[in-house]
A and B are shown apart, each in its own frame.
Chain A
């Protein structure tokens, strides 16, 4: 058996002399296939990120070059009341809707898994359908649904329950509830799809064995289904947290951060700071807070997904 060290082996067969150029030459096809993509990512993603971070240390506005201002933007950020509010509300929003999406998606997937094949595809398409509409459209759809004058929900409430509906997008706590519910309506399909795929992968024999051992429906769910759902749940949590933090179109359309700034989310605040107030540097500084949350989720996600084959996009 070879007891030679790695060093010795390489030396012996002349493997140390491979330079970068040698490796490129050997793998040139791989590089050819990959380089354009990398270039695109670098120009339109990596470079902007770095540029943006640099921006946060200046006072750039749209159309005007800025000058270096050190940590001024960050101190503005940390002392800004609206930021505090928006950040807190965003966390609450993300927490609420992610949880809701997860639960609703799970239940939908569980129910669908019991259907026989022919119906399952159509039913699945119907139940997951909110996810496929443009988020912007989702905003319009719910705005119309909740509209105090013409919407269906207020109409139902007054016709069947004799209740005068509140203005769902303006009164009291309702805007918050509406945003979370509308977001969950739109996105639970994603969790549903992921869970459905995971559930399909559970071998039927495991359920049968459990049933034979006397386990009832709930028990079987707990002992057979649940263990298989741990990984998908973590994946959904990580991905949806990142995506819900960044959610823009639907909340923007529904409330635009209002009334006033009562439902101001980080994404909307960033948008307004950049494109309404034209304060690019400040806006990117706000963005840093969002990036922090998203990237925490990303790190979490990557540590769970070590097997690079499954990214559950």
Chain B
């Protein structure tokens, strides 16, 4: 920094420390609880930083026997992966066309994207529920998958179109055309391989968005066997069952860890060139 002094450096670190504390402290309390026995978790004697021998992983092993978390996490995985794949199938060509080709209706797509991103989704669940009800998609995994696919589609398109616009060298499709490809060939054989990192990042973000989703699963399902982990935690919390806080918090950790870890890593590797930022 300009005119850096010892003092200003110290203030910087102090400030960042405060932020880190603010960000991490709530997480900390959850993690701490998950590493204790239930009794220890609610026992005020345990203290803020438990003694090392009080820590245990029983919550993480017991969780699979309780509350059917195997099913819940499995559903989360199935639904997130499927929604990601479907949205990629639609959004890769869509983003490419929007970024590189010129066609009537571009403006419409742009406004659609803005509109969908900013629309209050809770409101849309109502007519969609109606439609799904008619088609028998309520309480089914396919129903959730379809809903989540459309939910992640706008963000995927926008991530990818940013890349297609800036990350692909100019004129490269034209060089491919002259070298001997058809337009579709140029897209499949030259552009797509070049987009692998961007597609990977978009896939990751879609997956995590679907993984984190509560609204659609909550609205569209009531049966426990199609529930995802995100919704399951809500139900467990709201039930009258004697609280096993450590297991519940372990579930929260398992739910939150993948997104935080992956998003955190991606900050490092993705960042610029992949979207508006």
Contacts and interface: CB of A to CB of B under 8 A. Distances in A.
Asked whether any CB of A lies within 8 Å of a CB of B in the complex, the reply is yes
Contacts of A31: 103
A63 B138 CA distance: 12
A29 B183 contact: yes
Interface in A49-85: 49, 51-52, 55, 60, 62-63
A132 B259 CA distance: 6
A164 to B, nearest CB: 14
Contacts of A27: 101-104
Interface string A143-167: 1110001111001000000000000
Given A45-B150, A297-B118, A311-B114, A52 B124 contact: yes
B237 A45 contact: no
Contacts of A23: 104
B211 A124 contact: no
Interface in A170-209: 185, 193-194, 197, 207-208
A38 B103 CA distance: 14
A134 B229 CA distance: 11
Nearest to A20: B104
A287 B120 contact: yes
B122 interface: yes
Q: Which among A31, A137, A185 has the highest number of chain B CB atoms within 10 Å?
A: A137
A44 B135 CA distance: 13
A275 B219 contact: yes
Nearest to A308: B110
Contacts of A107: 15, 19
A141 B252 contact: yes
B184 A125 contact: no
B48 A149 contact: no
Contacts of B22: 185
B277 to A, nearest CB: 4
B56 interface: no
B105 to A, nearest CB: 7
Contacts, number: 297
A101 B247 CA distance: 31
A233 B11 CA distance: 25
A124 B153 CA distance: 27
Interface string B19-30: 110111111111
Contacts of A283: 126
A114 B8 CA distance: 11
Nearest to B277: A197
A273 B34 CA distance: 36
Given A155-B44, A313-B276, A274 B125 contact: yes
A32 B118 contact: no
Interface residues of B, number: 103
B165 interface: yes
A298 B111 CA distance: 10
A238 B117 CA distance: 11
A281 to B, nearest CB: 9
Interface string B221-246: 00000000011011001000000010
Interface in B118-136: 118-131, 133
B154 to A, nearest CB: 7
Contact of B94 (A37, A49, A63, A280): A37
Contact of B252 (A140, A243, A288, A297): A140
Contact of B16 (A41, A127, A129): A127
A218 B70 CA distance: 54
A61 to B, nearest CB: 11
Nearest to A216: B3
B115 to A, nearest CB: 6
Interface in A210-267: 211, 217, 220, 238-239, 242-243, 245-246, 248-249, 253, 267
14 contacts: A40-B149, A41-B112, A123-B20, A128-B23, A129-B27, A133-B27, A136-B214, A144-B30, A152-B25, A152-B48, A239-B118, A274-B126, A291-B119, A294-B120
Given A108-B19, A291-B119, 12 more contacts: A27-B101, A30-B97, A36-B94, A37-B153, A41-B116, A126-B20, A137-B230, A155-B44, A238-B118, A239-B118, A295-B118, A313-B276
